[in-house]
Amino acid sequence: MKIRRVARVLACLAAMVSSASLPGAQVATLVEPPAPLLPTQFGKWVKADSSTQAQAGADAPLLAEDGLQRSERAVYHSTANPAETVTVTAYQLVDATGAHATFSYFLKPGPGYRGPKIGDETGDGYLFRSGVTVVSAESKLGTAATDAMLQDLSVRLPKIGGSKGLAPLLPTFLPVKGLKTETVKYALGPVGYQAMGGVLPAGIVGFDKAAEAVQAKYDGEGTLSLFMYPTPQIAGDHGRLIEAEMNREGHAVGTVRLRREGPLLMLTTGPWSPADAQKMVEGIHLHEEVSWNRPLPLEFHSEVQKTYSLLASIAIFCGLGALAAIVLGLFFGAGRAAIRVMQGKPAATEPEFLRIDLSGSSAKLHAEPGGEPRG
């Protein structure tokens, strides 16, 4: 029976290979479905009810703008007490930049999150970002129990490496002094920019040219907006459009200071004092300062030491090989010459070598000293 089964399997494989080799034949490709966005079970929590497509509603345009790949909404029950439930909604974006924009959109103004840090970013209520996934939760449990559950969940969410896993750089240019962190909003498109209350018409920002925007308020001051563009030329073009718009609106937008540095635009609006506004835009720089009086990191020293050891080993090996070749050459050459001298033959000649004269003339054979006759 086993032999028949093996024969049937081999026959099926042969038929598949032969059909695939025929011209115009269609080959079926098996595609493994991706792993679920939310785990089926972790710890004492079991996923009971779930929907592979969360109801985005009014948020759908913004999620599409940020690069939504998939979403899921699930209700988790505790195996210890089925009455304990937590409803989790997860949105997986194409990269961490889009996830940061979505997280910024869902972040509500107000005090920071009252619990410990969860994932890469933690917001108000039960909202956090982990890699390329933004998660919000609804729970009637205590804060400590919900925090523990979400922390356990965050390590089981999909992770991504490389450039797609890097958070955006633009928000890091916001000066920290006086910053109201709960007002920081980041956008990748006109929908997100309008939703965060952007100070400019979205049409002149340049989101069609891959622009990024971040906006924040400062204690006792107005609003600072930063715009990042792919090239300085694009930044200059949109900087002139923004300048014309600010001149058109006049004093209604408050104290305006606009400055460009490379691909970065800095704009102040609102009740800034002229000196503070000028100081704010002049204190933001793109370039990195290199200092030679600081010790290099241990990783750098380790790599240098490894490279030095490798090159030193190669040099020593080559030197020993050359020395061995010289020693062996002298040994065998001197030994051969000594043996010939002991036999009464010249050390540097080869009397046994037969020379063939192809000139056609006849010549008498003659003997060389200590050797056989040669012709």
- 179 with 245, same domain? yes
Q: Does the model's pTM come out above 0.75?
A: no
Q: Note down pLDDT in tens along the chain; length 375 residues.
A: 445 554 555 555 555 545 444 455 555 555 556 678 899 999 899 998 777 666 667 889 999 999 999 999 999 999 888 889 999 999 999 999 999 999 999 988 765 555 678 888 888 778 999 999 999 999 888 888 888 899 999 999 988 888 899 999 999 999 999 999 888 999 999 999 999 999 999 999 999 999 999 999 999 889 999 999 999 999 999 999 999 999 999 888 999 999 999 999 999 999 999 999 999 999 999 865 444 555 555 555 566 778 888 899 999 999 999 999 998 888 888 887 788 778 877 776 655 555 666 666 655 555 555 545 554
Strands 373-374 and 366-367: antiparallel
- 153 with 172, same domain? no
- 102 with 181, same domain? no
- 184 with 206, same domain? yes
Strands 127-130 and 121-122: antiparallel
CB 102 within 8 Å of CB 93:
yes
CB 87 within 8 Å of CB 138:
yes
- 145 with 206, same domain? no
Domain stop point among 101, 125, 160: 160
CA atoms of 58 and 35, how far apart (whole Å): 27
Residue 6, domain member (yes or no): no
Residue 29, domain member (yes or no): no
Q: Is residue 60 within a helix (H) or strand (E), and if so which, with residue range? A: helix 60-66
Residue 41, domain member (yes or no): yes
Say which residue the tokens 């042969």 belong to.
14
Residue 158 CB-density burial (10 A; 0-12 exposed, 13-18 middle, 19+ buried): middle
- 43 with 142, same domain? yes
- 256 with 176, same domain? yes
- 72 with 185, same domain? no
- 117 with 207, same domain? no
- Inter-CA distances, 232 with 200, 226, 237, 252, 322, Å: 20, 14, 9, 29, 57
Range of the domain at 141: 35-160
Domain stop point among 223, 258, 287: 287
Q: What is the pLDDT of residue 12?
A: 55
DSSP state of 220: T
3-state helix, strand, coil in the chain (%, to 5): 40, 20, 40
3-state secondary structure of 261: strand
DSSP state of 355: P
Encoded tokens for 57: 């509603």
- 76 with 187, same domain? no
Residue 4 phi/psi, 5-degree rounding, is: -65, -40
**Entry field: residues in the chain:** 375
Residue 106, domain member (yes or no): yes
- Minimal CA–CA distance to 227: which of 248, 249, 243? 243
Residue 300, domain member (yes or no): no
Total structural domains within the chain: 2
DSSP state of 229: -
Residue 297, domain member (yes or no): no
Residue 50, domain member (yes or no): yes
Q: What is the pLDDT of residue 358?
A: 67
Strands 264-269 and 373-374: unpaired
3-state secondary structure of 339: helix
Q: What is the pLDDT of residue 350?
A: 57
- Inter-CA distances, 325 with 126, 186, 209, 319, 348, Å: 74, 69, 66, 10, 21
Q: What is the pLDDT of residue 297?
A: 53
- 58 with 94, same domain? yes
Domain stop point among 287, 321, 340: 287
- Minimal CA–CA distance to 133: which of 115, 106, 159, 162? 159
Residue 282, domain member (yes or no): yes
Residue 245 has a CB neighbour count (10 Å cut-off) of 16
- Inter-CA distances, 87 with 95, 148, 151, 163, 284, Å: 24, 14, 15, 31, 42
- 43 with 107, same domain? yes
